[in-house]
Structure 1
Amino acid sequence: MTSARDLATRREVARAFVDSSSARVIAAFLMLAVVLRAAMGGLTWGDLAAVAVVIVLLGPVEWMIHRMLLHAQPTNRLAELLGTRDSHERHHRVPDDLDWLLLRRPNAIGSCLAIVLPLGAAALVLGSLQLVSPEVARATAASTMVAGLLALAHYEWVHLLVHSKYRPTSRYYAHLDRNHRLHHFRNERYWLGVTVDVGDRLARTLPVDRDAVPMSDTVRAPLAAASDAF
């Protein structure tokens, strides 16, 4: 088993990330989205609006995906169809196993398509209904694709980083690191945000006192042994 715990420096984490099929799939989709947007002309206020929408929705959407699809009930047909519940359960069994920590190639492709296809469809609908000009609709959709794919790449990077032996030095990433380790080794129903904690704040799953949260039955490793960060 290739373990994220073998990655001790940020350089080693970056090398493992770049070599992953997840990063390569996302990079391919991102390159296509950037080329598509570049072919549509210069930046407009619509591009800024697209980025703003992604930033605002990132926390709630990340929380919902983590809670509803990754930690779904066995009766959730969508999660079973996508394979998200099973793959994430494998990740929680051995959190540092690189084979299940990052998105596997089919899941990475599916995640990118889940960003690209709805936006493309929305651009076609808005343009055909003349709610906005077809040119503006296409350009805004392409910019949203770029922002969404960047957010997905950042998610994968942070997820790998916090499972590695490397300890972030910035306050923000150290905060994410601590929260995600609590998610794994305290209670999986809390601390569901990976790159931002807005969803947890809205859903009240970001307890101030970790000791007030009961240890879940599915935790498979002692919290004290999970990281020297505690």
Structure 2
Amino acid sequence: MNDDRPTTTSHDHTPAGTSSPRAIRRSLTLGDAAREFFRHPSPWMIAAVLAIALIARITLGDWQLTDAVIPLVILAAFPLIEWIIHVTVLHWRPRRLGPVTIDSELARKHREHHVDPRDIPLIFIPTKSLLLTIIALVTLAALAFPRPTLALTFLLTITTLGLLYEWTHYLIHTDYKPKHAPYRAIWRNHRHHHYKNEHYWFTVTTTNTADRLLRTAPDPAAVPTSPTARNLHASG
């Protein structure tokens, strides 16, 4: 289960006379991880929306009880939302509708991510898909909430969780080793998903609350190693 191969980063360079494109990093601090994290577009894109929503929300004021309820509801639902997106969007099996193949960028990139879980750029949400998601969320916020301040509270909550998701998912796939039990449990579950069996352990930022609820958190010792964990939808 432990995968100790060196991590591919977007700025790796191969020294003259060597054949491997991978840079070996034997230890990784949180500072090292953060510097690499912010070399990629999606953290900056999410952080920008978060900052705008935060400034606008503080400026407008008008705090009400619903501004506390919205974050609590989203936080409670987030593990289930994460599970649903992972199963139905990221693990989407390409389908043909006449001459057209229905297959999103998110699903294609996620399959590539499974092929090489240590290829750092593939860990992040693709830029085009993220931009469309941000537009959709801003539109939803504008249409679904009765007052602009509540819409901003919604955006502030979603972008905070989105940034947490990107950071957690990225960190799991680096050489940073878990030092505390809560993160170790999250780290272990997601690595089971990639290196043990892709049909289980779909949550990323939480241990396995949604997986337990939806029966995708079995005892790893009782689950066979999948021959298709690195090649989604292939015949085993």
Query: Normalized against structure 2, the TM-score is what?
Result: 0.81
- The aligned residue for residue 203 of structure 2 is 193
Distance 2:96 2:195 in 1: 24
- The aligned residue for residue 140 of structure 2 is 118
Residue 96, structure 1, aligned to residue 107, structure 2: no
3-state DSSP of counterpart to 2:187: helix
Residue 52, structure 1, aligned to residue 63, structure 2: no
Summarize the Cα distance change of 1:8–1:149 in structure 2 as closer, same or farther, 3 Å threshold. Answer: same
Which whole-Å deviations, capped at 9, do the CAs of 1:37-95 have from their partners, x for residues lacking one? 12321432111111101111101100000000000111288x94541110000001110
- The aligned residue for residue 75 of structure 1 is 95
Contact 1:187/1:213, CA 8 A, preserved across alignment: yes
Percent sequence identity over aligned pairs? 32
Distance 1:4 1:13 in 2: 14
Summarize the Cα distance change of 1:169–1:180 in structure 2 as closer, same or farther, 3 Å threshold. Answer: same
Distance 1:8 1:29 in 2: 29
- The aligned residue for residue 4 of structure 2 is none
Distance 1:180 1:42 in 2: 40
| Structure 1 residue runs without a partner (length 5+) | 128-136, 222-230
| Structure 2 residue runs without a partner (length 5+) | 1-7, 10-21, 232-236
Residue 218, structure 1, aligned to residue 233, structure 2: no
Matches within 5 A, 1:153-192: 153-192=163-202
For residue 186 of structure 1, what is the amino acid of its counterpart? K
3-state DSSP of counterpart to 1:218: coil
3-state DSSP of counterpart to 2:60: coil
For residue 226 of structure 2, what is the amino acid of its counterpart? S
Matches within 5 A, 1:139-158: 139-158=149-168
Summarize the Cα distance change of 1:204–1:114 in structure 2 as closer, same or farther, 3 Å threshold. Answer: farther
For residue 32 of structure 2, what is the amino acid of its counterpart? E
Q: CA RMSD in A?
A: 2.2
Which whole-Å deviations, capped at 9, do the CAs of 1:164-212 have from their partners, x for residues lacking one? 11112121111000000000001111010000222212111111x2021
Question: For this pair of structures, how many residues does the alignment match?
Answer: 207
Q: Which has the higher contact order (CA 8 A, sep 6+)?
A: 1
Distance 1:216 1:70 in 2: 18
- The aligned residue for residue 33 of structure 1 is 53
Contact 1:4/1:160, CA 8 A, preserved across alignment: no
Summarize the Cα distance change of 1:48–1:104 in structure 2 as closer, same or farther, 3 Å threshold. Answer: same
For residue 20 of structure 1, what is the amino acid of its counterpart? H
Query: Normalized against structure 1, the TM-score is what?
Result: 0.83
Residue 9, structure 1, aligned to residue 29, structure 2: yes
